[in-house]
Structure 1
Amino acid sequence: MIDRLAVFGATGDLTARYLLPALAALRAAGHIGDSFQLTGASREDWDTHHFREWCADQLDRHAGSCPADAREAVAVSARYRQADVTNAADVAAVVAGDDPIAVYLALPPALFPHMVTALHDAGLPHGSRIVLEKPFGEDLASARELNRLLVGLVPEQAVFRVDHFLAMTTVQNVLGSRLANRVLEPIWNSTHIAEVEIVWDETLALEGRAGYYDGVGALKDMVQNHLLQLLCLVAMEPPITLGERDLRDRKVDVLRSVRLLTDYDVVHRTRRARYLSGRIGDHSIPAYIDEEGVDPGRCTETFAEVELELDSWRWSGTTFRLRSGKALGQDRKEVAVRFRSVPHLPFGRDGEALPNVLRFGLEPEGMTLDMTGIGAHAQDLTQLSLTARMEPPDLPAYGRLLLDVLKGDPALSIRGDEAEEAWRVLTPVLSAWENNLVPMEEYPAGSDGPPPRPHEGAQRRRSDLLHPEALPGDGSDGPP
């Protein structure tokens, strides 16, 4: 197990909010000890004392639930070097040593090729590992080039293209529910499942992230990585084991089976939009194009929706809808599996059975199954919701990912060919959007998103059957 971690871009939000708390959780759980060393590198003119004080402050702010001694140990283990990530000499000073080191690139994706080149010139101790945040590249061509650079630096199994969604408890439970329960796997196919929605709708607006977000947008920020990863777990064939080869092979199979969209498909099966001014709760939200740091000429979308189909025996005929939006009226973060209706109802003409829906809540985490049952009268049907509360994870998602990096288990990281296949799936969408084949719609901040298209209707647009609050029954408000 590696006990040296170097974080380039160490003074940023990722380190403060996620990596430092993850290290504190690993320390509290006994996964790392006194020999562990954290080296932070960034452009700021800091020294080790300043960096340790900053780490201690961020740990108090973002990891208050961790024991004080664990937080203190992480801060004490830290040291700092000012570095230009494109300068081989600076990079070499950060990674110097005989023992292997895990190098975390907490940097804008545009800097990845320069950083990897500098690492190649600087040299890494044998057995070292590289960690990259999403998005991996900016398109298919850049992803291929980055893979080429990485292959010349370390073996593929030493490259960790991390996606913290894959370490979330409920995401892991998608596999557990499918593969460990005989009642589900026999009906986990297009014969029984009409539609799968993978949704990350959030009330959060830009929140000062224009420097990153305006050059990326919802499609690249969420759909290309997080949501496609969830699609893989929902749709893949049962792997022989959950080892890195078996699991990642099956995920790649799913991406390879995605039917590529034609220009006609992109026009009719995708949407993009950005938010106008509005109110979310007690807060007034400016229009996206008026947010500080936004270039209106980029035509960056804050809402993206894509409908995909898989050319496979299991899934032919099932629609997979992936969508993500910012500054919406309510948070909705879930995988919703809608089953087909029963072929016949032996009840009165007024009886109606809504489709069964199995929802995996991502944030908050939980599971809910919506079913139809008998109401107060024998001929009356009512909606029932069965909710399961998830046990708190022993480690936060980033803690799980960092532990895998230090131990050398890449099962939950994205393989090079998998990253390229994900870009292949969305390349037709990116191309058509760049050519303005799909109009940029608008929606008020705090609303449900862009209005439904005329042929969709409100039910189709919001898939209200997937919202427990829109159903008759006990008034359940979804996953706990």
Structure 2
Amino acid sequence: MSEAKKSHVKTLLILGASGDLTGRLLLPGLAQLIATGREADLVLVGAGSPDFSAEDWQQRVADVFGQAKKKATAQGAAHLDRMAAHTSYSALDVTAPGELGQLVSTLEGPVALYFALPPKISQKACEVLTPAEVPAGTTLVMEKPFGSSAESAHALTRTLTRLVPEEYIQRVDHFRGKATVFNILGLRFANRFLEPLFSAEHVAKMEIFYDEDLALESRAGYYDHAGALRDMIQSHLLQILALLTLNAPATLGERDLRDHIGSVLRATKVPTDYAKSTRRARYTAGTSRGHDVPDYVDEDGVDAANGTETLAEIELRINNSRWSGVPFLLRSGKALGCPRKEAVITFKPVSHLPDGFTGNDTPTRLRIGFGPDTLELELDVNGPGDMYELDRIGLSAQLNSPDLLPYGEVLAGVLAGDPTLSVRDDTAEQCWRIVEPVLAAWANDEVPLEEYAAGSNGPGNWLTSQEVQLDRAPKDGEVPGTSLDAQTAGGA
């Protein structure tokens, strides 16, 4: 893939302009980007259903941009006003041959086509486009999920690369914003005391959590056919895992970085005893965020026959020399009592602790929080009073916070022609390859679908993290093989 700088996008065409994604995420992200004074010459065009008029679109843009003006620079406010005044809307059927191509031909290029549409419609729209209808330099921007399997992800790539080269395809992952990516890479590779510790020699286990207190929130149309494993783990959390485990790239250029992401994902798999290496559950009626939540199967639009999970855990192994033998746990769920969005790296205990120390001998942990990005290093130190007693402290810091919303970061990369934050074709396929055997096992009921009350921390028999037998000689009076950090169910 060439790293030559691409032409800057002149026109952003949002397909699905009347939809929830556009109104709730895309336009606010774009407005915040414009409010900083960037993208002064960008032209914004919307396209979508005939039920949504040009006046509706202009009002939607005006409302969102008006909010952004309250925090904009004077230059940014002027850019927002200009863009809102000159935006346009076209009613069209993107799946009808010729309609999308005709619209694109009227726009100033280079154009970025943002498919803010359901995946099946996006794919159909690309299938009916012809290469002659896609001018050179056009960028295709796709929302997850990228297919529904490794095979379908590959088929989607064939469809897209028939129209544009791979380097002009942006598969966006707003969860993997630029600040999050570079916070992780900077932490890992710019600190001498940390860089050599990220390996099987020193790490006992690594866990990545994305527990939400939100319930379904009227998303049954998508979520009931996806579930927690497809929605969060297959896409977002595997990407974070790759950043935490990849070898140091030579540069932060998009090819070097994405080559290393692909390499570590190719070495990743779920142990095949899926009844032990995976778990799934679904929420029942309860209370979350102070509101009554119905049983998941009673939510509007849910089909109980789908057997959709709202909480998923999988254990993975990475079969390379750096990480051989280390368990990795990825977990995500909805309607949970304790929101938790972080990666936890638990280090192995010291090889020898001198006799005489008392108190809690607990593993060193590094916690990396997501949204906001935070850092906490948990250490054992001599406690106050008794100098022989070990006590726990946490050294914490706030990491770099982006000046843009997640979709503002996505759009900044799209408009600049920088695919660093996008998911490359091989990576999209590898993420499906990792989870497909699990999905098949769940479809065959090899793993029970458990239940938990909304507002709880999951099924009562689940631990919040897998126990790991840490390799340390037992001290006097200690039972050999006892995990140092076994936690009771539901604790955070």
SS state at 1:88 partner? coil
Distance verdict in 2 for CA 1:384–1:304, change over 3 Å: same
CA spacing shift, 1:168–1:447, aligned 2, 3 Å: farther
Equivalent in the alignment of 2:101: 92
What's the RMSD between the two structures over aligned residues? 2.4
| Per-residue Cα deviation, 1:85-115 (whole angstroms, up to 9, x for no partner) | 2013321233223522000011111223201
Deviation at 1:84, TM superposition (A): 1.2
Correspondence for 1:140 among 150, 159, 177: 150
Counterparts in 2 of 1:37-48, with a 5 A limit? 37-48=43-54
List runs of 5+ in structure 2 lacking aligned partners: 1-7, 469-482
Check conservation: 1:442, 1:450, Cα contact below 8 A.
yes
Q: Could you say which residue in structure 2 is the equivalent of 1:176?
A: 186
The normalised TM-score by structure 1 is 0.91
**Structure 2 CA distance for aligned equivalents of residues 437 and 351 of structure 1:** 43
- 2:426 match: 417
Contact 2:36 2:72 in 1 (8 A): no
Distance 1:60 1:298 in 2: 42
In the alignment, does 2:394 pair up with 1:388?
A: no
The one-character-per-residue Cα deviations of 1:176-228 (angstroms, maximum 9, x if unpaired) are 10111111111110111111111100000011111111111111100001000
Secondary structure (helix, strand or coil) at the match of 1:338 reads strand
- What is the TM-score normalised by the length of structure 2? 0.89
Structure 1 position 49 matched with structure 2 position 71: no
Report if aligned partners of 1:170, 1:366 keep a CA contact under 8 Å in 2.
no
Identity %: 44
Summarize the Cα distance change of 1:196–1:214 in structure 2 as closer, same or farther, 3 Å threshold.
Answer: same
* Contact 2:214/2:289 (8 A) holds in 1: no
Deviations 1:394-414 (A, max 9, x none): 322222221111111111111
Letter in 2 for 1:403: A
Query: Could you tell me which residue of structure 2 aligns to residue 155 of structure 1?
Result: 165
Question: What is the SS of the residue equivalent to 1:127?
Answer: coil
Give the distance between the partners of 1:225 and 1:66, measured in 2 at CA.
33
- Partner in structure 2 of residue 365 of structure 1: 373
1:460-475 → structure 2 map (5 Å cutoff): 460=466
Change (3 A) 1:166 1:458: closer
Aligned-partner Cα distance in 2 for 1:151–1:144: 10
Q: Distance in 2 between matches of 1:461 and 1:222?
A: 23
Aligned to 2:322: 314
Deviation for aligned residue 1:379: 1.0
Query: Structure 1's 141 and 394: CA in aligned 2 closer, same or farther, altered over 3 A?
Result: same
Q: Evaluate the alpha carbon distance shift between residue 63 and residue 109 of structure 1 in structure 2; reply closer, same or farther with a 3 A threshold.
A: farther
CA distance in 1, matches of 2:168, 2:434: 25
Q: Distance in 1 between matches of 2:186 and 2:86?
A: 37
Q: Do the aligned residues in 1 keep the contact of 2:115 with 2:122 (CA within 8 Å)?
A: yes
1:211–1:58 distance in 2 versus 1, CA, 3 Å:
farther
Alignment partner, residue 2 of structure 1: 9
Is 1:242 the counterpart of 2:252? The answer is yes
226, 229, 250: which one pairs with 2:236? 226
1:211 to 209, 215, 221: 221
1:15-414 matched pairs, under 5 angstroms: 15-33=22-40, 35-60=41-66, 65-66=71-72, 68-69=77-78, 71-97=80-106, 99-120=109-130, 123-167=133-177, 169-262=179-272, 265-348=273-356, 350-376=358-384, 377-414=386-423
Q: Post-superposition shift, 1:60?
A: 4.7
Query: Deviation per CA, 1:150-188, whole angstroms, max 9, x where unpaired?
Result: 110100000000101221523421111011111111111
Change (3 A) 1:59 1:295: farther
Q: Partners in 2 of 1:121 and 1:257 — Cα distance?
A: 36
Q: Give the Cα–Cα distance (whole angstroms) in 1 for the partners of residues 342 and 72 of structure 2.
A: 28
CA contact (8 A) 1:88 1:121 kept: no
Per-residue deviation, 1:122: 6.9
Instruction: Report if aligned partners of 1:459, 1:465 keep a CA contact under 8 Å in 2.
Output: no
**For 2:362, what is the secondary structure of its paired residue?**
coil
The aligned amino acid for 2:23 is A
- Greater helix fraction, Structure 1 or Structure 2: 1
1:465: Cα distance to partner?
Answer: 5.6
SS in 2 for 1:91: helix
Q: Structure 1 stretch 416-425 or stretch 86-95: which is displaced more?
A: 86-95
1:64 deviates by 5.6
Instruction: Kindly provide the amino acid, as one letter, of the partner of residue 392 in structure 1.
Output: S
For 1:474, the equivalent position in structure 2 comes to none
Check the 8 A contact 1:360/1:367 in 2, yes or no. yes
Unmatched 5+ residue regions in structure 1?
472-476
By how many angstroms is 1:275 displaced? 0.2
Whole-angstrom CA distance in 2 between matches of 1:440 and 1:260: 18
Evaluate the alpha carbon distance shift between residue 118 and residue 169 of structure 1 in structure 2; reply closer, same or farther with a 3 A threshold.
Answer: same
Cα distance, 1:75 vs. partner?
2.6
Q: Is the 8 A contact 2:373 2:401 kept in 1?
A: no
Measured at CA, do residues 303 and 106 of structure 1 come closer, stay the same or move farther in structure 2, by a change above 3 Å? same
Distance in structure 2 (CA, Å) of the matches to 1:197 and 1:186: 19
Distance 1:442 1:234, change over 3 A: same
Task: Give yes or no for contact 2:270–2:277 (8 Å, CA) kept in 1.
Answer: no
